[in-house]
Every structure is written in C-alpha cells, then in structure tokens.
Amino acid sequence: MPIKKYREKDIRDKILRKIKPKVTSSKRSKHDKGKIFVDGTLIAKVKIPNDHDRFMKKSKSQYIAKDLQLKDDDFNNLIDCSLSGPQYYALLR
C-alpha cells in the first residue's frame, strides 16, 4: 500500500514522541535533524518536518520513510499509531 497523506505536524509529532531521536537544529537549516541510535550505534538520520498544518507531499513522506528505514506500510503504521516506538526499534535490529 502506498504512503497515505499526512499533515506535516502529525509526522513530526509521531517521530518525536515515538522514536525520540536526538534532535539537532541549525540556524542554516529550516528543519530540525534527528539522529536515531540503536545500542549506542547511529543507525539513521532523518529530517524532521516543521509544525505546519498542511499536507506533506507524497515524495517527501517517502523520503522520510526511507530515512527511517521503513517500508511504506510500516511508515503508515507508525503515523497511524499501530506501530509503537519499541516495535520500530525492534524492526531496526
């Protein structure tokens, strides 16, 4: 199943609440960056969307899913709340 349409703020909220990446910001960039560690090893880096109410373009959602190392269905499950943070980390392992 392809990635569904989600609001940017919903994607941001799920990434920050469930995955809890180490967030870094830069004055040169519009977006925050998140680093995801598993057992002390850097596994992924992801660009965290801004807190906008508009829908994210499908291509950008796919880019975020790829950064999170998730298939389209798993990304949908992450945002729709059926995939928890611990389940996400289990998938990465």
Please tell me the distance from the alpha carbon of residue 22 to that of residue 90, in angstroms, as a whole number: 18
Residue 1: its pLDDT value, please?
79
| Burial (Cβ within 10 Å: 0-12, 13-18, ≥19) of residue 75 | buried
**Helix-then-strand count for the chain, H and E:** 4, 3
Residue 78: its pLDDT value, please?
92
Residue spans of the domains in the chain: they are: 8-92
Residue 83: its pLDDT value, please?
84
- Read off the pTM: 0.86
Segments of the chain scoring below 50 in pLDDT: none
* Joined tokens for residue 58: 């499908």
Provide the phi-psi class of 81: left if phi over 0, else alpha when psi is between -120 and 50, else beta. left
Element (H, E) at 62: helix 58-67
Residue 85: its pLDDT value, please?
85
